[in-house]
Amino acid sequence: MTKSEILSFITDIGIVPIVRTNSAESAIKAVEAIYQGGVRAAEITMTVPGAVKALEKVADKFGGKIVLGAGTVLDPETARVCMLAGAEFFVTPSLKVSTIEMAKRYSKVICPGALTPTEVLTAWDAGADVVKIFPCGNVGGPKYIKALKGPFPHIEMIPTGGVNLETAGEFLKVGACAVAVGSELVDGKSIKEGRYDIIEERARQYLAVIAKARSEMRAAA
């Protein structure tokens, strides 16, 4: 997939599930559940023990059927390792320009974390494809995205933190190109109990919420 194809794929789906579990095995199973639920994108965070192995296994298993990302990428060296393991997009919790440059060098999608207007613009000017607004829920949720989109209508934003089944649609309506969902989709309790069917069902629910919000947006346009 080309960089623009990956970007439009993520935007079309409208959701990036964040897989943050306590083992590589549970991360792989969570991605499988997300896939079965109809979501064709997933981000495995570097906080998962054996995360790079998990990326490799998912890349081998799903090939071109899922767009695979690496999350909590703190530096360009980690980005490169994840790239070689099969990650096609990279998500960072904070703004580090050298990581953006690494992704650009290899024509990969980079979604750096930012919060303030200054950080958001700095990330975009440095070459971010999408800016992850984190932690969005702590600073006003959809209202904060709406406020940022005022001066920055041209900047693509994906909120993280505070995104759930109730708020996902609102985030899209105020201008987010997609949403990123962590423990509200892949939660520790379901994984501990081996209830991956719950994660699969939640994936379907998020897709339904996104479809509903987009249909309402088209009707209002």
pTM: 0.96
10-residue mean pLDDT series, the chain (221 residues)? 94 98 97 98 98 97 94 98 98 98 97 98 98 97 98 98 98 98 97 98 98 97 87
Give the residue numbers marked as catalytic: 43, 132
Determine whether domain 3-220 maps to CATH 1.10.10.10.
no
Q: Which regions of the chain does DSSP assign to beta strands (E)?
A: 15-19, 41-45, 67-71, 89-91, 109-111, 113-114, 131-133, 157-159, 179-181
pLDDT of residue 102: 97
Question: Domains of the chain: which residue ranges?
Answer: 3-220
Q: Which residue has the tokens 């590589």?
A: 24
Encoded tokens for 72: 């909590």
SS3 content of the chain, % helix, strand, coil (to 5): 50, 15, 35
